[in-house]
Structure 1
């Protein structure tokens, strides 16, 4: 609709090809920038960032309920700003919804860029309707002096992937992995995923399947169709 928009693609089965993507249109997309969509595990709620007017800062995180699914496509309700517990006068982006290990309340991870500062990772607990259960809190062990951009969390809450341009990578945004023993424990020191996931190009925006076996991410590496393309990698079973 004039800037970065959110599109949807469907497929008939888990091993079928994806159909041509369709722009979600209004009220999800506007003449401002929208992006970084993430769905609740039941598909009822869509979280995304938008730079539309009426927010708290240059970009805020919104939630929209699914109204219906039918032959005419997915219908979404009016987006609701997540409010001052999440959004600030800075920029909020890169949201990722997960119900860690079957906890009663889901968690939304996202990044925040205060004016003139680095990108940092926060998290906030949510009600079943996607409302914040208090102010978002920074996750200190995930952050660095570099730009820590977007996370993906395995459904059991024991593994987290982060796109960041911190030292120790290949020189641009790379994907790093954190682990923890329990869902209430702090995250470990990060491990660089190395090749073939990371390259000297921009490798970013990770997203994990529910079972944690499939990683989808963006990259501008050679062999794609344009600038940032979607790539997929499947986790191999560990040797016995």
Structure 2
């Protein structure tokens, strides 16, 4: 059978387009540096959250809570790289990487230290720094079972300075953050320490602008 040049060109273009779509679809499976997303605790179904409300005890720093509200704009976090100076924006976060989670609204970093949390007496989790500049207490190790942080799988965040794991105590606050859950650091890596990427804007290396894949 003889195939015309025009039909051959159409076939090749269609094949390339399908290949590009396949690569793009594969890329969207991963959490990448520069992305802005919400992070969901799989045990309590709450999203990691912060706001301009300070703890009344402990460090007195900006508080961290867990909220059930999917639409709350104060649950957005930017993924920042600390592992390699040569990383590219949009590069997948590797398991074992050291990252910072910067709160989008207040520009402070997810932080921990040896203060007691206000409700359960576990390790306090707070927000610290200015415009992403903080200290070593802002550094977290991504623990997962694959080579990279897959959006469909859960991960753990281990605090570099204290070895504590980011967790939810299950206790809730009263005013002014009524009903929001206490976020803590724990030594037991199996105690409500599983987190998944939820809604967000995910950046990929071949794209200069942010590419939106889910509702913010």
Report the TM-score range of the alignment, normalised by the length of the smaller protein: under 0.3
Give the TM-score taking structure 1 as reference length: 0.23
Which is greater in Rg? Answer: 2
Q: Which structure has the highest helix share of the two?
A: 2
The TM-score normalised by the length of structure 2 is 0.25
Q: Which has the higher contact order (CA 8 A, sep 6+)?
A: 2
